[in-house]
Structure 1
Amino acid sequence: MDLFEKASRLKLRFPAPIGALSVEQLWDLPIVTKTKNGTDLAGIARELNRRLKDGSDDDLPFLSTTTKKADNENQLAFDIVKYIVETKKAEAEKAAEVAANREKKQQILSLIAVKETEELGGKSLDDLRKLAAEL
């Protein structure tokens, strides 16, 4: 069973300053926000990581307040947030690459236009008149 199927079957929710969020809502969050109280994927991942560490580092396991099920759900939630962050980073890199290629293509087209203008400027007056007449 994949991550998202497990999450939907468990009706998994993610801890956030604005309240519990669903998987769908995670996709709308930025990876990191510049505001102090903003909700972002990094903050959710930190909270889930803290929960995972708190549950597994107990010296006295019989005093642990977390259960194996809660640990499994926290791990699943952490894995989902990690997947979403990695996907968003890859999409941002791809978008930056597309934008860079678009900009480079525009520069090349501008240079082509300049070269064509220079080539036309080097023609004789008679050649230019013939070209104009052909159009």
Structure 2
Amino acid sequence: MADEEFFIDTHRLDQIAVALGNVPGATLPKVRSAVQFNATLVKQEWRKSLQGNRFAPRVPYAITYDTHELADAVTAEIGAEKGTGKQGGVALLLEYGAPAKKLAPRGYGMQAVQDNLDDLRHGITRAIADGAAAAGL
């Protein structure tokens, strides 16, 4: 038994390890694109829900989004931008309500997020698959 030679070819494992190391780099731009697309959908739906208020006609334009790319993640911040002259405070008031003023929350933003969650899941799944394919997996 001691005279027998035992050999394992790890060349393919090394190739896979290199490809796996490239997945985050190949995937992150695709994930960013999916998140930005979904944030745009949420923003548009939220804006549509706010249209038609004759007392606050500029409220829909207060809804904006920003995306932030970190080393290993992409985030999107969607909401009303206050202090821009676009009635962002009114948008927040409509979203969350004001119990002291007997104004019920409308929840338009939360509904827009819920309505677009499946699209986000699909986009992220596809982005990861495309990134893995681009890395050679």
Using structure 2 for the length normalisation, give the TM-score: 0.32
Name the structure, 1 or 2, with higher relative contact order (CA <8 Å, separation 6+). 2
Which TM-score applies when normalising by structure 1? 0.32
